[in-house]
Structures are given as C-alpha cells and as structure tokens.
Amino acid sequence: MVHLRNLKISLLLIFLSSCSFPEKDCKKFKTGNFEFKTEIDGKEYVSYFQRSDSTEIEVFNGVTDTSSVRWVSDCEFILKNINPKKSKKSITMKILSTENDSYTFEYSIVGDDSNKKRGKVFLSD
C-alpha cells in the first residue's frame, strides 16, 4: 500500500515537472512605451502606444486615440475609448505570456468572447 502511494506521488511530481507553464510577469508591462504590429489585408501596420496606470495613448496610421485603462488583475485590463469617442464598446485585454521585452495577449470586445484575437506587443523606446 505504501509503495503504491509513493509511486502515485512520484508520477504526479514527474508529470508536474514536465509541464511548462508560460512565464507571466505582467506587472512590468503595466506602464511604458510599446509597439504592436498587425497585418490588415496583406499590409503590415505598426501601432505605438504609451500606457500609464490609468490611460493609454495610441498612435495608429497617423491617428491618435486615448483610452482609459482599468486593471482587473495583474494580467488583465479593460480599455475604454475616451478621445475620439469612435466606439462605445470597451475591449478586454488579457496577457497570456510574457518574455523579456514582449507579451502575448488575447483581446475581444467586452461580452463577445466568441470573437477573440491574439497579438504580441513589444517594449519600445
């Protein structure tokens, strides 16, 4: 009986040690200057944004947008457009993994979990 229990514990430890969980150091991405590249209709676009604890200012294709930032947890926040008010719909952003100078995230309109998209953001100077 004791051997079986030890075997189960050993197998569990081996299983857990073989699983790799993505790194998530989200706190270092709460504020700073960032760059996001995306492809639309085969053409690459770059968006630059600066984020403080409560505000994000983005420049995309020559247009500046300002959004409020509300952190739900260390790795999840909600963006709401302030200026210009082109959309009343908020966007939920969830950081899935982090690396030294970037993070991979998932985003969707709040309440529309069926249309989630992913992207990768890089620290910028």
Q: What is the residue-wise DSSP string for 58-119?
A: EEETTEEEEEEEEEEETTEEEEEEEES------EEEEEEEE-SSEEEEEEEETT-GGG-EEE
**Per-residue pLDDT tens over the stretch 69-96:** 999 999 999 999 998 777 778 999 999 9
**pTM, entire model:** 0.77
Domain residue spans of the chain: 23-123
Pick the CATH number of 23-123 from 2.40.128.490, 3.30.70.270, 3.40.50.300, 1.10.240.10: 2.40.128.490
Partners of 100 in beta bridges: none
The position carrying tokens 């979990």 is: 113
Peptide bond into 22 cis (omega under 30): no
Whether the per-residue pLDDT at 4 is higher than 90: the answer is no
pLDDT at 31: 95
Calpha distance 12→55 (Å, rounded) = 44
Q: Give residue 3's pLDDT band: very low, low, confident or very high (50, 70, 90).
A: low
